[in-house]
Amino acid sequence: MRRLWCMICCCLLLAGCAAPAGEDLPPLGASGPVGDTVPVEEAAEYAAALTIPLAELEPYAPPVSMEPDAAGVETMGEILCDETLPGGTRVVCYWRPDHTAAPDAPGDQDARYEKHWAIHQGDKLLRFAAEYSGYEGGYGVRPFANVLGRSGFCIEAPRGAAYTACDYYVFDETGVPRLLMDCSNGVLERDVNGDGVTELVWNYHGGQFVTCAFLRGGTVYQVEMMSLLAEALPFPGLPAGDLAGWEADGLPVNILAGGWAVIDEPGPKTWIEGYLHLTEDALELYVPTEQIPLEAWAGKRYTLINGAPACQDIVYPEPEVPLAWTVLGPAVPAPREWVEQDLAGRNTAETWAGVEPSYLVMKMVSVLEGWMVVSVSHGVGANADNYVYRTRDGGHTWREAAKLEEAGRYPCAVEFFDDLHAVVGIELYDGAPVFVTRDGGESWEQADLSLLNAPDGLQAYRISRSGDWISVEFSRGAGDETEYFQAFSRDWGKTWTHE
């Protein structure tokens, strides 16, 4: 996981270089910092593609810059900010009187000056926060109401060349300001999840990090959404535009389809326009329900390396640069039935590591969904065991869906059409066995191809789809004596016709 996380961070850092802070990613079908894109038809319907539970999220613990204390007005040097809140409370930010570095200030020159935030209480100051910086202006105070269920005041302070932090304070029962939430950049105050409470959202490093503070059961939590998304989804993703566009439906995001393609590589790319929706319990990714074009996944080849899923970009290799495989995740679990098989040590195998498949086909059919058929010799002649696996997290992890029980030999033609439908043809075998699934690989049935004339000796060599039609092409014989046959289905393999 650590390796995967580092690779995802690299992708996101490349994304940050390609799309500087403050610049929106181009819409689909346009040109921009991510290069040419492959147009995707606008989809009106969206469906949840990924749910990231937030049950393990810890409550927010405000940092403490200082314990509030009382001081005389003689401690005030130059006043950098002086605002009076509704109700008469006066809030100030000021230098040390000598405008010099504090004795215990950090060594960084940009953080060498000590400043205090305080409220006036008669002829005394109640100091409630301290900060160290070299900035001489840009400080402000403003009131807020009904944010995270509370009201109080927000102090604004420059804390970076391009960042103005916003710290939200509320008064406790004794009148002391207490930090409600610290936000590292400009803040969107918005009810982003439709619960009637105003949340706080801010970004950092041009949107590579987007944080939201929200209430759960009256307790404040904060979640950094893009890191969670990157950890769960092995494809680069970035916010699509300004955070101000986030309404209750969710935060628009762009997901780079096609596996491990990086943003600055040459050639066309497909960005899927989805959005993130935050609830009290989960972060959800929604993507268009319409079929994503196959071009989104072209140019990626998948395999197992020491049992672990890996992918390879084969469309735009650099001249004289060998193609490299990228390992996506942990090793694939061994088939369930192996615990009962004392054959070549299968009963001790927990994964496919160390097992060399005799046949392997892997394919992604969406940004998250993918298929794998993997086969090994059964130890007798050309007989084989054939297993079907599925992924629902972009190829990172795989689970066994089924075994093709009646397929006694190796596959010779395989096609995965979408999340539910797939067809597998088995090599030269009496009856030309073709297996069909319509439930995502959980169950399979053998296609009734008795309509074919003398099916003995037939072998499928190509499976394709055109519109509503599935086509399976067969051959028999060799050389000039080769015969060709074709079968069609318009109901995902329930019934067949031929020509």
* The two structure tokens encoding residue 126: 């109640």
Return the amino acid letter for 352: W
Q: Coil, strand, or helix at residue 244? A: helix
How big is the CA angle at 332 (ends 328 and 337), to the nearest 5 degrees? Answer: 170
The DSSP result for 319-340, as a single string, is TT----EEE-SSPPBPPGGGGG
Q: Please, are residues 182 and 62 in contact by the beta-carbon 8 Å criterion? A: yes
Which backbone phi and psi does 191 adopt, to 5 degrees?
-80, 90
Query: In terms of pLDDT, which residue wins out, 249 or 77?
Result: 77
Between helices 2-18 and 225-232, what is the axis angle to 10°? 120
Query: In terms of pLDDT, which residue wins out, 317 or 7?
Result: 317
Indicate if the pLDDT at residue 119 is higher than 90: yes
Of residues 227, 226, 239, the one with CA closest to residue 271: 239
Of residues 496, 484, 400, the one with CA closest to residue 446: 496
Using CA atoms, how far apart are residues 291 and 269, in angstroms rounded to an integer?
A: 16
Strands (E), 90-218: 90-95, 113-121, 124-133, 140-147, 150-158, 164-171, 177-183, 187-190, 199-204, 209-216
Amino acid 111: pLDDT:
55
Report residue 73's pLDDT band, with 50, 70 and 90 as the boundaries: confident
pTM, two decimals, is 0.60
Rg (CA), the chain: 30
Distances (CA, A) of 142 to 130, 173, 296: 18, 21, 47
Amino acid 97: pLDDT:
74
Amino acid 182: pLDDT:
94
Residue carrying structure tokens 């927000």: 154
Using CA atoms, how far apart are residues 410 and 293, in angstroms rounded to an integer?
A: 30
- Report the percentage of the chain scoring pLDDT > 90: 32
Indicate if the pLDDT at residue 39 is higher than 90: no
Amino acid 7: pLDDT:
31
Query: What tens digit of pLDDT does each residue of 345-380 get?
Result: 788 889 999 888 889 999 888 777 889 999 988 766
Of residues 334, 447, 311, 463, the one with CA closest to residue 389: 334
Instruction: Tell me what the pLDDT averaged over the chain comes to.
Output: 78
For residues 424-439, average pLDDT: 84
Query: In terms of pLDDT, which residue wins out, 56 or 44?
Result: 56
Using CA atoms, how far apart are residues 252 and 483, in angstroms rounded to an integer?
A: 54
